[in-house]
Amino acid sequence: MKTFYPRDLSTQEFHGLLQGAVAPRPIAFASTIDTAGNVNLSPFSFFNLFSTNPAILIFSPSRRVRDNTTKHTLQNVLEVPEVVIHVVHFGMVEQMSLASTEYDKGVNEFEKAGFTEVKSNEVKPPRIKEAHVAFECKVNEVKSLGDGGGAGNLVICEVLVAHVNEAILDEEGVIDPRKLDAVARLGGNWYSRASGASLFQIPKPLRTLGIGIDQMPAEIRNSTILSGNNLGRLGNVEAFPSEAEIMKFGQSPEIQEMRIRFQYDQDSMIDHLHLLAKEALDENDVERAWLILLQKGFGDQ
């Protein structure tokens, strides 16, 4: 493990380290306007959701590292404290990147990047027609985090209205991440796409409290076959199967065959049980995985 102290690196070097490590980051594609009516559109990956009631989004247009100048977006929200924050999907990522070009003040990135302006309901900045999700916000506060190059400026936004493309909703009216096809930022020129095989689900921890990894038998907890993720899933059960359930499962042809095959090699028996349990976990069958793992100790069945 290599250790870095900010004081030992240039701001640009540490900036790159932070952006490479704290990733992927959602992107706030922010539309703003100044008092003269000039529209600006720019993406920011220092962004997230921080409250639901009130609905608060925060993004940060940092001061430029190279020359300590500020961005038009920051200047605009200080003049007109309103913004439309769009969620970036894969179908617009190249246009979004083009909009990040540092055009002169007064240049409309909607036009440069080929986006269609739509009049907002509650705020002055327009929104992007091509975006799947857009949040019209008022800016409650802009908090400066410093006056040097690389210093952030927290733009604290309260959502007034949300626009969602119905095409990305599932049958229950909830946003389907597969249809949203969101894009996130990493370090350098790297992005990630939340779609396909990169999407997965994890059951939330039980309110009744899972047993935890610490309560597992040592041979399971210290398995060289089961991963940390496997153990985490196994720990999210309220209780172990009963002895009767374990005994009954032990009568299955699969387990009986293993008992015969490894009757003189207990270590191999354990390894094969762990491999079989891992397959069950890959299929999200936690109950079966536990029944497999707890067969040790019932070799005389």
Residue where a domain stops, chosen among 165, 198, 231: 198
Sign of the CA dihedral 121, 124, 125, 126? positive
Q: Are residues 20 and 162 in the same domain?
A: yes
Q: What is the mean pLDDT of the chain?
A: 94
Residue 211 belongs to some domain of the structure: no
Residue 111 falls within a domain, yes or no? yes
The CATH number linked to 89 is: 2.30.110.10
Say if residue 121 is in the same domain as residue 55.
Answer: yes
Confidence of residue 301 (pLDDT cuts 50, 70, 90): very low
pLDDT at 299: 41
Per residue in 89-123, is it b (16+ CB within 10 Å) or e — as a string?
Answer: beebbebbeebeeebeeeebbbeebebebbebeeb
Residues 35 and 180 in one domain: yes
| 124 against 150, higher pLDDT | 124
- Tell me: do 256 and 179 sit in the same domain: no
In a domain, 209, yes or no: no
Residue 300 lies in a domain: no
Question: Considering the chain, what percentage of its residues have pLDDT values greater than 90?
Answer: 90
In a domain, 40, yes or no: yes
Whether the per-residue pLDDT at 157 is higher than 50: the answer is: yes
- The answer to whether the predicted template modeling score (pTM) of the entire model surpasses 0.75 is yes
Domain range for 259? 218-294
Q: Are 126 and 74 found together in one domain?
A: yes
- 149 shares a domain with 49: yes
Residues 158 and 224 in one domain: no
Q: What is the pLDDT of residues 173-215, one digit of tens each?
A: 999 999 999 999 999 999 999 999 999 888 888 888 999 999 9
For residue 21, is it within any domain? Answer: yes
Average pLDDT, stretch 250-264?
92
Q: Is 203 a domain residue?
A: no
- To which H or E segment does residue 258 belong? helix 253-261
State yes or no: pLDDT of 298 exceeds 90.
Answer: no
Q: How many domains does the chain have?
A: 2
Pick the last residue of a domain from 198, 229, 245. 198
Do 159 and 124 share a structural domain? yes
> Could you tell me if 92 and 225 lie in one domain?
no
Last residue of a domain, one of 132, 164, 198: 198
pLDDT above 70 for 300: no
Same domain, 186 and 107: yes
Give yes or no: residues 191 and 120 share one domain: yes
Q: How high is the pLDDT of residue 208?
A: 81
292/294 Cα distance (integer angstroms): 6
Per-residue DSSP letters for 127-162? EETT-SEEEEEEEEEEEE--SSTT--EEEEEEEEEE
Are 165 and 257 contained in the same domain? no
**131 occurs within a structural domain:** yes
| Average pLDDT value for residue range 231-247 | 95
